[in-house]
Amino acid sequence: MGAGIALLTEHGWPAVTTRGVAERAGTNPGLIHYHFGGLPGLHAAIARAAGELVIGPLVTELLGAVDARAALGRIRDMLGETTGDERATRLAVEVIAGAARDPALGEVLREQLRQARGQIGEALGRMHPEWPAERRAGVAVLVTAAVDGLMLHYLLDPGLPVGQAVSAAEGLLS
């Protein structure tokens, strides 16, 4: 997985071939075919692992917040750290690009995002038990999309005022 993720980050999906991953990992291409059932299985496994690397830390941070203001503070911190990590941002973009091109990779990412939104919705339920399930689900979608969008916008425009965007969201809570 490490070899595949490294190739994906450095050169995109076209570099993630059975032979390329085997060479990077120092193993036999036949073992990769045997273990993953061919290139589509390898791609799905790499997409799953890459998605966990990108989505997992963000969700973990959000789930640790005690309220909306703390969550926004964590988002500000995460985006500052994540956007500064060009490797993580490139990996996120490659996972999304692959998901847009390949239906199997798209299903992997969709499932990971569904799980993330579900976990965020559950956390919102603990913070706001008075909110109906539909509102929690809607806010979970909004939060997930906002974080993804800010990451992608930052990749295109490193001067993006992420802190100002989060401060504006804090203002909306007032």
pLDDT value of position 80: 64
Per the structure, the complete domain to which residue 155 belongs is given by 51-173
pLDDT along the chain (174 residues), means of 10: 95 96 95 94 95 88 84 78 68 91 94 94 91 94 86 80 83 71
For 67-97, how does the pLDDT look when each residue is reduced to its tens digit (9 = 90+)?
A: 878 888 887 777 765 555 678 878 888 999 9
Within-domain flag for 166: yes
pLDDT value of position 159: 83
Q: What is the pTM of this model?
A: 0.84
pLDDT value of position 14: 96
What are the b/e assignments for 74-94, b being 16+ CB within 10 Å? bbbebbeebbeeeebbbbbbb
Q: How many CA atoms lie within 13 A of 137 on its CB side?
A: 5
Within-domain flag for 106: yes
Within-domain flag for 119: yes
Within-domain flag for 9: no
pLDDT value of position 84: 55
Instruction: Note whether 96 and 106 are within 8 A (CB).
Output: no
Within-domain flag for 144: yes
Within-domain flag for 22: no
pLDDT value of position 138: 94
pLDDT value of position 81: 58
Tally of domains in the chain: 1
Within-domain flag for 71: yes
pLDDT value of position 85: 66
Within-domain flag for 162: yes
pLDDT value of position 157: 84
pLDDT value of position 135: 94
Residue with tokens 């060479």: 23
pLDDT value of position 63: 86
pLDDT value of position 66: 84
